[in-house]
Amino acid sequence: MTRITDPAAFADQHQAAVSHLDRILDRTGMGMTLGTVEPWLSDRIDDLLKAIDNGQAETCPHLSAGGPSPCFAALWRPGRIACPACTSSLELDQDPRCSRCGTDPGEQIGLRTVQLANLAVLVIECDTCYAPH
């Protein structure tokens, strides 16, 4: 793949990546939040985006080649960005913790997906932190 320099082509490809991600999320039945992102969560996502900008994120090799493509990150794997084929590298820990308060969510793990354009960010919430979104 070559890097795209034409802004219009980039926008097209970006849009294609976004719809591709939509389809993946549909197929996997992962819930998606497009509405309110609470302040704590937008802070965490900002940190993630900064790490990507600074080149500190650990990006899956399939994503390094040029234009935008659907990609995934999880708050419990800071700095790791995966392509759709490599989401297994984002699998939950043996002992998952709430992404917000850090407590053990027990049996009631609330998994939430927040979509930012072509990036899906996975979040775990315990019962207490989970509120209807």
SS (H, E, C) the chain: CCCCCCHHHHHHHHHHHHHHHHHHHHHHCCCEECCCCCHHHHHHHHHHHHHHHCCCCEECHHHCCCCCCCEEEECCCCCEEECHHHHHHHCCCCCCCCCCCCCCCCCCCEEEEEEECCEEEEEEECCCCCCCC
Which lies closer to Zn ion via its Cβ, residue 122 or residue 126? 126
| Residue 109 interacting with Zn ion (CB under 5 A) | no
Q: Is 129 in the site for Zn ion (CB under 5 A)?
A: yes
For Zn ion, give the closer residue by CB, 11 or 64. Answer: 64
Number of residues engaging Zn ion in binding (CB under 5 A)? 10
Considering only residues 42 to 61 of the shown chain, the ones binding Zn ion according to CB under 5 A are 60
Q: Which residues bind Zn ion (CB under 5 A)?
A: 60, 62, 83, 85-86, 98, 100-101, 126, 129
